């Protein structure tokens, strides 16, 4: 069952931003490494290309670039931030938190900063966390703004010869600024669920305290990301429709009222085939996955920023539904009424 939480007070998205690295990696490059064809990749995934970070770029660099754009879009100065929350499963280092590095890059020294890791559901968890912090009674009324970022650099943990994962993943970052909006707008609530019995479907075996890095673990390829693709797909098909239905029921919203649906950009083919079972018959499905692939925790804010900046994006008063799913196994949803930004 999901844990559903209403947001206490009108807290909404004031601005969005995203960043994709410059290097474009087309299907032809991936196909040559994995022994498949470019057409096979596109047919199986709906992806045509993905972006890879430059050698000097890490998760914090991508996150900071997206953050700057979100701050500019919302008219927020770094010193006005109370919180910085970064969702990532590919941090710069095991410690310190990537959010601390982002804070330093931005000069947002008045903000508390920390990371969350719920893999590809991470942005939904970070959004929930930031909204609850801002809505708390003890929140600083003078600085009631939070920067919520999803950033991942999967190109560093993907085996380039693995046909199960290499075609799917790319690098990127997306960000939103949360803050007060008019009554009746903003986040209506969130839904989060985890089934730890399935924790072994997705993961990186080595590099943590269970299996520290050694020459042997590197030689065995234990630091590569692995995924039991068929089982993961079964999980999504089984769990996502119910999680969405429970969220809408919890906040008394009919599926036909949803105007925009922004899911985790896991696999375009899977999401298109699943769309009919979600009941969101009138919603615009935002699916720019063909241009950047699965970017982990970055994929929802990337897709949201793309929708906001494109024709046909959310209009004032539209109901928008976000949904993530990923390792753990986790599902996270967020329901909001778009707009209500003063000024």
Q: What is the pLDDT of residue 180?
A: 94
Active site residue 264: yes
Q: What is the pLDDT of residue 276?
A: 87
For the beta carbon of residue 246, count every other beta carbon within 10 angstroms: 17
Of the pLDDT bands very low, low, confident and very high (cuts 50, 70, 90), residue 141 is: low
The token pair at 314 is: 């959310």
SS (H, E, C) 153-195: EHHHCCCCCCCCCCCCECEEEEEEEEEECCCCCEEEEEEEEEC
How far is CA 82 from its chain centroid? Answer: 21
Alpha carbon distance 13, 85 (integer Å): 14
Helix (H, G, I), strand (E, B) or coil at 122: helix
Active site residue 294: yes
Q: What angle do CA 47, 328, 215 make, to 5 degrees?
A: 85
Exactly one of 27, 73, 294, 306 is catalytic; which is it? 294
Q: What is the pLDDT of residue 13?
A: 97
Q: What is the pLDDT of residue 6?
A: 73
Exactly one of 120, 260, 286, 306 is catalytic; which is it? 120
Active site residue 267: no
Report DSSP state, residue 221. T
Q: What is the pLDDT of residue 135?
A: 87
Q: What is the pLDDT of residue 139?
A: 56
Of the pLDDT bands very low, low, confident and very high (cuts 50, 70, 90), residue 34 is: very high
- Lowest mean pLDDT of 138-142, 201-205, 211-215, 289-293, name the range: 138-142
Percent of the chain with pLDDT strictly greater than 70 = 97
- Distance of CA 15 to CAs 62, 228, 321, Å? 17, 36, 17
Please compute Rg for the chain using Cα positions.
19
104-115 confidence digits (pLDDT tens): 999 999 999 999
Residue 32 has pLDDT above 70, yes or no: yes
Alpha carbon distance 247, 335 (integer Å): 8
Residue 140 has pLDDT above 60, yes or no: no
Alpha carbon distance 87, 215 (integer Å): 29
Specify the pTM.
Answer: 0.95
180-229 confidence digits (pLDDT tens): 999 999 999 999 999 999 999 999 999 999 999 999 999 999 999 999 98
Burial (0-12, 13-18, 19+ Cβ within 10 Å), 143: middle
Exactly one of 264, 286, 292, 306 is catalytic; which is it? 264
Of the pLDDT bands very low, low, confident and very high (cuts 50, 70, 90), residue 136 is: confident
Residue 3 has pLDDT above 80, yes or no: no
């Amino acid at each position: 069952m999901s844990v559903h939480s209403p947001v206490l007070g009108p807290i909404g998205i004031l601005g969005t931003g995203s960043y994709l690295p410059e290097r474009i990696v087309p299907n032809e490059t991936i196909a040559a490494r994995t022994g498949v064809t470019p057409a096979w990749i596109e047919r199986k995934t709906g992806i045509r290309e993905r972006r890879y970070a430059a050698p000097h770029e890490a998760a914090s660099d991508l996150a900071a670039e997206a953050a700057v754009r979100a701050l500019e879009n919302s008219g927020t100065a770094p010193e006005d931030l109370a919180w910085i929350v970064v969702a990532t499963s590919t941090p710069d280092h095991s410690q310190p938190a990537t959010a601390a590095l982002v804070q330093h890059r931005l000069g947002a020294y008045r903000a508390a900063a920390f990371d969350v890791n719920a893999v590809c559901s991470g942005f939904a968890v970070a959004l929930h966390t930031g909204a609850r912090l801002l809505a708390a009674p003890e929140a600083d009324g003078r600085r009631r703004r939070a920067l919520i970022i999803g950033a991942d650099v999967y190109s560093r943990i993907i085996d380039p010869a693995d046909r199960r994962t290499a075609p799917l993943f790319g690098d990127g970052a997306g960000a939103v600024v949360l803050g007060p909006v008019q009554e009746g707008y903003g986040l209506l609530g969130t839904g989060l669920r985890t089934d730890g019995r399935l924790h072994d479907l997705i993961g990186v075996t080595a590099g943590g305290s269970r299996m520290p890095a050694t020459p042997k673990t590197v030689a065995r390829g234990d630091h590569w990301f692995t995924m039991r693709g068929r089982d993961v797909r079964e999980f999504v098909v089984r769990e996502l429709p119910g999680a969405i239905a429970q969220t809408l029921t919890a906040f008394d919203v009919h599926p036909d009222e949803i105007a925009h649906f922004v899911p985790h950009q896991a696999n375009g083919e899977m999401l298109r085939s699943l769309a009919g079972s979600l009941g969101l018959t009138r919603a615009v499905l935002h699916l720019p996955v063909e241009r950047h692939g699965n970017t982990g925790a970055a994929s929802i804010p990337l897709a949201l920023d793309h929708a906001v900046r494109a024709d046909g994006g959310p209009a004032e008063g539209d109901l928008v539904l976000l949904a993530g799913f990923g390792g753990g196994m986790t599902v996270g949803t967020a329901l909001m009424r778009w707009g209500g930004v003063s000024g």
